[in-house]
Amino acid sequence: GAGVSQSPSNKVTEKGKDVELRCDPISGHTALYWYRQRLGQGLEFLIYFQGNSAPDKSGLPSDRFSAERTGESVSTLTIQRTQQEDSAVYLCASSPWTEANYGYTFGSGTRLTVV
Partner 1 sequence: DQQVKQNSPSLSVQEGRISILNCDYTNSMFDYFLWYKKYPAEGPTFLISISSIKDKNEDGRFTVFLNKSAKHLSLHIVPSQPGDSAVYFCAARNYGGSQGNLIFGKGTKLSVKP
Using CB under 8 A as the criterion, which residues of the chain lie in contact with partner 1 when the complex forms?
4, 31, 33, 35, 41-43, 45, 48, 50, 56, 58-59, 91, 93, 95, 97, 99, 101-109, 111
DSSP state of 98: S
Residues 17/37, Cβ–Cβ less than 8 Å = no
C-alpha span between 46 and 67 (Å, rounded): 9
Question: Which CB atom, from 70 or from 98, has the smaller least distance to partner 1?
Answer: 98
- Least distance to partner 1, CB of residue 109, Å: 6
Q: Compare residues 18 and 67 and give the one whose CB is closer to partner 1.
A: 67
Provide the minimum distance between the beta carbon of 26 and partner 1 in the complex, in angstroms, as a whole number: 12
Residue 31: name the closest of 73, 94, 109, 100 by CA. Answer: 94
